Amino acid sequence: MKSNEKQYDYGRCHVCGGRMEERSVSQTYRAGNRWILVTDVPAGACPECGARVLRSGVAKRVEELLRSRRGRPLRIRAVAWSSQ
Ligand SMILES: [Zn+2]
């Protein structure tokens, strides 16, 4: 995270009312028929229930990132729980 970036106030959790904290999270996004893992996304995370929110500027950046990566997406393989 850039040090000159002001800490954003995410307010209260919409699920449980806990205080949201800024965290770097990894999220998967659907891009067509593929899933792309985006790491180090600055997001508000609830320490109580784990709910996450992205502020609008970050969500837009992620969208742009996904668009620029369309040519070489990461594949995420799924494992069926029932096959264990
Ligand atoms: Zn919560």
The first and second tokens of residue 37, run together, are: 């893992």
In a domain, 49, yes or no: yes
42 CA to middle of ligand 1, Å? Answer: 17
26 CA to middle of ligand 1, Å? Answer: 18
Range of the domain at 62: 21-77
State the pLDDT at residue 53. Answer: 92
35 CA to middle of ligand 1, Å? Answer: 26
73 CA to middle of ligand 1, Å? Answer: 32
Q: What is this structure's pTM?
A: 0.63
State the pLDDT at residue 77. Answer: 60
CATH number at residue 48: 3.10.20
Number of domains comprising the chain: 1
In a domain, 61, yes or no: yes
In a domain, 42, yes or no: yes
| pLDDT tens-digit profile, the chain (84 residues) | 555 556 789 999 999 999 999 999 888 888 777 778 888 889 999 999 999 999 989 999 888 888 877 666 555 566 677 765
How buried is 25 (Cβ within 10 angstroms: 0-12 exposed, 13-18 middle, 19+ buried)?
Answer: middle
In a domain, 83, yes or no: no
32 CA to middle of ligand 1, Å? Answer: 30
